[in-house]
Amino acid sequence: MQLIFSLLLCSVAALAAREFNIFDKFSLELKSAIKGNTFTSLNIIVHFLGGTSAVLESILQTRFTNREQRLNTMHDLLVSNAESSQRNSIGILANTTFFYKSFWITNQHYVRNLDISTILEISRLEEVSAIRPEETAFLMEPVEIKNANKSPNYEWGIMKIQAPEAWDVIGRKTGEGIRIATVDTGVRVTHEALRHNFFGEYGWFDPSTAEPLPTDRSGNGTHNTGTIFGSNGIGVAPGAKWMACRGCATSLCSQIADSSLSGLLWWMEATMIAQRLLIVSNSCGGERGNTGFNGVIDAWVAGRIFPVFSVGNSGPRCDSANSPGDNGKLIGVGSTMESDAIPSFSSVVPTLDGIMKPDISAPGSEVVSAYYTADGDYRSLSGTCMAAPHVSGVIALLLKRDVDLSAGNVRGLLEQNTDKELVFSGRIMNHVFGSGRLNALKSVQAQIMMLNL
């Protein structure tokens, strides 16, 4: 009898410990709602043990004959990893009426309006590592919008980074064949500067309003897309093909349900393998230290898809760089003025983990580009959102010559060939300008020297 009683006590203790471990999987917000009996239903993201780290590490450590082989192998391994990790959780959800979406690219799934009993049931699965509410990302809106006419030649930012001279050096190549995605407010596909190089099928995704063709209701996306791809002197790489995801229908973007991360994940799964996406230029973000985008950023880097993010418009105070621009694995871009001074709005760091951001700076004040209001309209906008597209365009010029460039080579060609004679107090390689101001000509010249070695 004493033995049986002891076994019962051990069983109760084990169950109690297991329930305690379950609550360790919940975010503070979720714990508070459950303990305070204020929980009704919630949009959640389910994370699984190991995530994608083992798969992506194996991809990074493996030599592939070409980029296509790398992406195909990565796709197959990530799909297999997700199917194995998520099988039991999906089995639970399949017997409910809740909407859910599985993502192999990050080994997560999203569930809409999930109730507490199902959350607890899923959390008891040993392979589930965490359950988090969806987060809100923010569009980094321009700090200033002005009426403006397009320059008869090239816009000042295009001239400042010496893009026309770079085109001459590489045989008048302007990014032909390179595919770049913008994740922003959308694009006016009929604009005179953009209508000629839309990628077409699989080149558009709108998770918020399901428009069949690219549209834009606020202008930020059309403007930034113009700075990368636009003809008529506004774009750095007018020969490249543009793709777009409406990451933010308004200034607020839910992480999964409406747009930002769900659109990113769904669309990236459809495009990064089948359509050979090369660069992602992004203008959304969240609070510093936010890790919501890290999974997809890790996948991009392993697949040699180059993520470029603006660092934010929260300057001039220190510690103001936003996520995910403060992530060390991507290129975070600050803004410069036509005088090569730093504008007051450009965010500066160090980041929470002490790394330098921005990595590089580019023209971002009073940049004239395409606008969403009419097919021939242009506006002058200011913000780090206007700076990042210049960097994306230069990467396209580099990849045109060598599509298999590594992330390290791209970063080196950009950051080691910046202009450093800038208007500032202090040293270059700092938390204001980063490595300096982008220079397309110097970057492509350095690449030619590297290829000739």
Cross-sheet strand order for the sheet of 284-285: 252-254, 136-139, 284-285
Note the pLDDT of residue 142. 80
Token duo for residue 29? 């917000």
Nearest partner of 182 among 144, 235, 134, 106, judged by Cα: 235
**The residue type at 307:** P
What pLDDT does residue 5 have? 32
pLDDT category of residue 14 using cuts at 50, 70 and 90: very low
Of 334, 311, 260, the C-alpha closest to 43 is: 260
pLDDT band with cut points at 50, 70 and 90 for residue 31: confident
* Model pLDDT for residues 139-162, shown as the tens digit of each residue: 677 888 889 999 999 999 999 999
- From the list 33, 48, 119, 118, the residue with the least C-alpha distance to 78 is 48
Give the chain's mean pLDDT: 84
Give me the helices (H) in 53-96, please: 53-61, 67-94
- Contact present, 221 and 260 (Cβ < 8 Å): no
Nearest residue to 74 (alpha-carbon basis) of 294, 330, 298: 298
- d(Cα 9, Cα 404) in Å, to the nearest integer? 61
Topology of the domain comprising 138-452: Rossmann fold (3.40.50)
- 88 touches 121 (CB < 8 A): no
For the chain, what is the radius of gyration of the CA atoms?
23
Mean pLDDT within 261-265: 56
Question: With 50 as the cut, is the pLDDT of residue 4 above it?
Answer: no
Determine the Cα–Cα distance for residues 324 and 244; give it in Å rounded to an integer: 19
Does an H or E element contain 299, and which?
helix 294-302
Query: pLDDT confidence of 447, banded at 50, 70, 90?
Result: very high
